[in-house]
């Protein structure tokens, strides 16, 4: 099992390597890929130094699997070149997510759509993954009409430079600003670039990707995405309108039974999901479950997950595990 990790020195790439090790993914040869300036340097994997290689060398190595987290431009240019060699690509960028010919996969929800013919598989956006993990079992039971989501997103979603900005601002240092404003002691209603409709790309990802993953274009999703000075994970306040009425105890039971979801919902003990608790974990945490008293068949809840793990690296590797377990990689 020859595996390339493209973007191995980035924040998500490093977490991918960590998760591959933790989950004991059966790698016989690892090919860490990074920019030209990093080629020849080494990273450590399972206690051994491994040389970073160029992306062209990785393509020529005929890998079984390439895990991408190096940005949309790199993915558009190079994922097809890996695929031409028979390598299966799982891509963590936005490059292929809405391509009608590419599958957009959260394994607990729709891994069964994958086949051996799928050579480029898209990993969803981090905020979408945790949202659909909670929506899917509820949609199956009650049929979702509309979702209103407000996100509170970690600076780690923007990358290392954003973390450096926050840490520098905390220390009172002059910093290079990745965001248009200070992020320390602030909240920016501005994740990614603005589109022509006044929504940001991040907000529209939540709309478009949710429909594709759940396989239902009738679900209406509207979002406001906010960047907050947090490093542990993304949080979401979600309001869901259903076709059918629901029972709160039954909803809690549904979440107890959903793989990958952990219910933390007891206001008597102040038990609810928080980024501080979710950091470093692979589950999606759900709590503050309550009926919306302002209109019928409507639910409020709060969802938190580590955006670098389940929101990116872990979901990618879960896809790879599914491919391996079901003999969907090249022989």
Whether 190 is catalytic is: no
Identify the residue whose tokens are 């979603």.
Answer: 157
Identify the residue whose tokens are 């029972």.
Answer: 247
What is the C-alpha separation between 67 and 86, in angstroms, rounded? 14
- What residues contact residue 109 under an 8 Å CB cut-off, 6+ apart? 132, 133, 136, 213, 214
Whether 63 is catalytic is: no
- The catalytic residue among 63, 126, 139, 191 is 126
- The catalytic residue among 63, 139, 191, 234 is 234
Q: Please, how many CA atoms are within 13 Å of residue 139, restricted to the half-sphere of its CB?
A: 21
Q: Please, how many CA atoms are within 13 Å of residue 251, restricted to the half-sphere of its CB?
A: 27
Phi, psi of 192 (to 5 degrees): 75, -170
Burial class of residue 276, CB neighbours in 10 A (0-12, 13-18, 19+): exposed
What are 165's two structure tokens? 């900005």
What is the C-alpha separation between 130 and 195, in angstroms, rounded? 23
Residues carrying an active site annotation: 126, 234
């Amino acid at each position: 099992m020859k595996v390339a990790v493209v973007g191995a020195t980035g924040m998500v790439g490093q977490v991918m390597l960590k998760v591959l090790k933790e989950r004991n993914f059966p790698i016989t040869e690892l090919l860490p890929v990074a920019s030209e300036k990093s080629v020849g340097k080494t990273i450590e994997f399972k206690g051994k130094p491994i040389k970073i290689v160029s992306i062209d060398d990785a393509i020529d190595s005929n890998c079984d699997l390439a895990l991408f987290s190096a940005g949309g431009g790199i993915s558009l240019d190079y994922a097809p070149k890996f695929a031409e060699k028979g390598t299966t690509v799982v891509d963590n960028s936005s490059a292929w997510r809405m391509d009608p010919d590419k599958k957009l996969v959260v394994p607990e929800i729709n891994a069964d759509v994958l086949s051996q013919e799928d050579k480029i598989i898209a990993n969803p956006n981090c905020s979408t993954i945790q949202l659909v993990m909670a929506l899917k079992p509820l949609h199956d039971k009650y049929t979702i009409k509309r979702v209103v989501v407000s996100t509170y997103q970690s600076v780690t979603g923007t990358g290392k430079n954003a973390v450096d900005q926050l840490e520098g601002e905390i220390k009172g240092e002059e910093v290079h600003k990745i965001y248009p404003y200070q992020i320390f002691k602030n909240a920016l209603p501005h994740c990614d670039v603005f589109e022509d409709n006044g929504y940001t790309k991040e907000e529209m990802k939540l709309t478009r990707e949710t429909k594709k993953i759940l396989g239902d274009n009738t679900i209406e999703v509207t979002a406001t995405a906010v960047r907050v000075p947090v490093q542990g994970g993304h949080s979401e306040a979600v309001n869901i309108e259903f076709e059918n009425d629901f029972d709160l105890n039954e909803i809690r039971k549904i979440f107890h039974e959903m793989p990958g979801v952990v219910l933390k919902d007891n206001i008597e003990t102040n038990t609810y999901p928080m980024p501080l608790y979710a950091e470093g974990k692979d589950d999606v945490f759900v709590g503050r479950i309550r009926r919306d008293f302002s209109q019928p068949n409507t639910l409020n809840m709060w969802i938190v997950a580590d955006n670098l793990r389940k929101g990116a690296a872990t979901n990618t590797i879960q896809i790879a595990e599914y491919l391996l377990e079901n003999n969907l990689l090249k022989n």
